[in-house]
Amino acid sequence: MKFRTISTALALTGLLMGTPGCKDFYDVNVDPIHPSKAELQQLLPVTQTATSTYLGFNIAGLGQPTSALMQQLSNGRSIGNFQQTGDSFSGPWNGLYSDMLANNELLITQGTTEQRWGYVGIAQLQKAYVFSQLVDMFGDVPYSEALKGAQNTSPRFDKDADIYNGNPGLGIQGLFALIDEGLGNLAKPGAGVTGTADLIYGGDLTKWARFGRTLKLKLLVQIRKTRSDAAFQQQVAALLTGTGGLLEATDDFEFKYGASESPANRNVGYLADYVNAGRENNIGRFLYLLMKYGDGTNPSPTAAVRPIPNPALGYADPRVPYYFFNQLATRIAPDRATYDYQDPNDARFVTTRAGSTGPANASALSSSTRTLPGLYPVGGRYDDGRGGNANTTFGRGLVAQRLLPYFSRKFLEAEAHLVILNNRAAARTALQAALQASFDKVNAIALAEGTSPSPTTTSGAPYPTAIPSGSRALGPIPAAEIATYINGALARFDGTATGPAKTPLQVIMEEKYVASFGMGPDIYTDWRRTGYPILTVPDNNNIGSNVGLVEDNDPITTGAGLFPRRLYYSQQDITANANPSAPKAQVDPASPTYRIFWDR
């Protein structure tokens, strides 16, 4: 396993420069091969920043490419066309191991020596969370023998199921046992951490404990197809009803960004699409159509606008202007010669279709007019209809990177009640709470943003002051609109809504998919576990044996390969690792070990 120092990767983003205790992060040792003592209050924020960076919704993280796979984004990078190489994810792979996990292991070992159990418990929960994500993305990974520096430079690739469940015969402590140990350390007398060093919960160990139990529930739900015994059901039920509780409404597990421009402490996704005039992302057509019209898969006889939206389904998700910012302000007829795809009912929405071979498919053609990730995902601009060529004054970039928020807990409960505990009524109640929590999150972000200031236009012309008809100023979503949407979702769950019939699980997972915009790894995991939502892909050659995919019926889109069910390893690491368990090549889709163990 190759290790490097934290400064190599994160100094480039400037993220650590403004975090408490980390202004001298070059002095923080992260190389376990040549260890030197570091203060625990310095190490903790480094691990949390690295977690957010390399799992997050940005060019350096796994959140962006997995969001592209899940059709929430559309980009021209190879993974957007279902192609990957041994270099595709070497950055986040190396970053998570070298910048996050190596520092985190120092927290555990040094904290244990110093008997500072608060730091140890937090680090153990963080370790369980990050390794669970590595398994979910890559499968077998170095775990039990990793992070030992010169003691073992070619660690074993442990089996994915062993990492989750443990294997005493091989000396592997599973993630469930690691979580329990972390919770035990948090509960020890005198446990505590310096509040300013903890960028997630400010040193609140009660919230960390609730996160740990929720993480355990998440992992149990993810492996539910591998377990059907009564003991498993009892374990899930105990978490849902046990003392101590799970994440509460104020307990979102998320990394909070700051307002500083120099050093750059704003949301990294905001920097990519608002500070960077060339833009990084397009919005996924599927997500937009699902939210705006309730169906991302309707075929159309008109090739240039496939799939055509169906307003009769009446979803009209009121979160749309919080999710997406339209740089175009005029609701004109679509210009198919200039833009690859526009909503035929609202031509302000501009994007590039996944796999497009059309004449306007080059992303640079629409950098000043394409629709961008808005306020909710990256702290960009709320869409009040005034549009404009976005720049750094079109938002503040303060929105946190969500990792495991409260609404995710409620969606997990809904799934657990429905398919593990076979309690449809309880699942419906949890779904209703999850939907309300997801809207509450949007409204909390809107309230924190305040009002949308008039930005400085790129051209220097005055920014319009009048909000066009059909749009409204930034503010919370009205309660009546929230209630209408939630009632519609519950009707779909009950099977009483108009439109295409959907199973209760499909409704839960579709709503979770929408609420989780910006959380690509979890969405990708959920889709592989459940087959929902049913995504559109450019052609049948992308589908193979995959459930949960349909062709987009668009003759000018094409996919370059089979839709992947796992990400490629860092080729450099598997080549350099001499352990017999290390893959000698990327796992072939025809291999029986291609799917992650819970992917059934």
pTM: 0.92
How much is the average pLDDT of 188-217? 97
- Report the distance separating Cα 565 and Cα 542, nearest Å: 12
Q: Poorest-confidence range of 3-17, 199-213, 340-354, 459-473?
A: 3-17
Band (pLDDT 50/70/90 cuts) for residue 20 is very low
- How does DSSP classify residue 273? I
Which stretch, 77-81, 176-180, 227-231, 497-501, has highest mean pLDDT? Answer: 176-180
The chain-wide mean pLDDT, for the chain, equals 88
Residue 300 scores a pLDDT above 70:
no
Which stretch, 115-124, 275-284, 326-335, has highest mean pLDDT? Answer: 115-124
- Report the distance separating Cα 484 and Cα 415, nearest Å: 23
Please tell me the predicted confidence (pLDDT) of residue 363: 64
- Report the distance separating Cα 507 and Cα 484, nearest Å: 16
Please tell me the predicted confidence (pLDDT) of residue 149: 86
Q: Poorest-confidence range of 3-7, 427-431, 581-585?
A: 3-7
Q: Count Cα neighbours of 254 within 13 Å in the Cβ-side half-sphere.
A: 24
Backbone angles phi, psi at 401, to 5 degrees: -80, 110
Domains of the chain: 6-227+571-576 (1.25.40.390)
Q: Poorest-confidence range of 28-37, 134-143, 334-343, 584-593?
A: 28-37
How much is the average pLDDT of 136-156? 95
**Under 8 Å between Cβ of 321 and 384:** yes
Please tell me the predicted confidence (pLDDT) of residue 242: 84
Please tell me the predicted confidence (pLDDT) of residue 10: 43
| Strand partners for 142 | 157
How much is the average pLDDT of 284-307? 68
The closest of 2, 66, 103 to 522, measured between CA atoms, is 66
Residue 441 scores a pLDDT above 70:
yes
Band (pLDDT 50/70/90 cuts) for residue 310 is low
- Cα four-point dihedral sign 59, 87, 2, 585: positive
Residue 370: helix, strand or coil by DSSP?
coil
How much is the average pLDDT of 515-534? 97
- How does DSSP classify residue 538? S
Please tell me the predicted confidence (pLDDT) of residue 264: 82
The closest of 559, 554, 556 to 308, measured between CA atoms, is 554
Instruction: Report the interhelical angle of 424-449 vs 504-515 (nearest 10°).
Output: 20
pLDDT above 70 covers a percentage of the chain that reads 90
Please tell me the predicted confidence (pLDDT) of residue 305: 41
Residue 12 scores a pLDDT above 60:
no
**Under 8 Å between Cβ of 588 and 594:** yes
Compute the CA torsion angle 488, 446, 471, 57 (nearest 10 deg): -80
The closest of 569, 522, 572, 581 to 144, measured between CA atoms, is 581
Token duo for residue 162: 């062993």
pLDDT tens column, 113-125: 999 999 999 999 9
Q: Poorest-confidence range of 41-45, 354-358, 359-363, 496-500?
A: 359-363
Please tell me the predicted confidence (pLDDT) of residue 570: 95
Token duo for residue 77: 């990078």
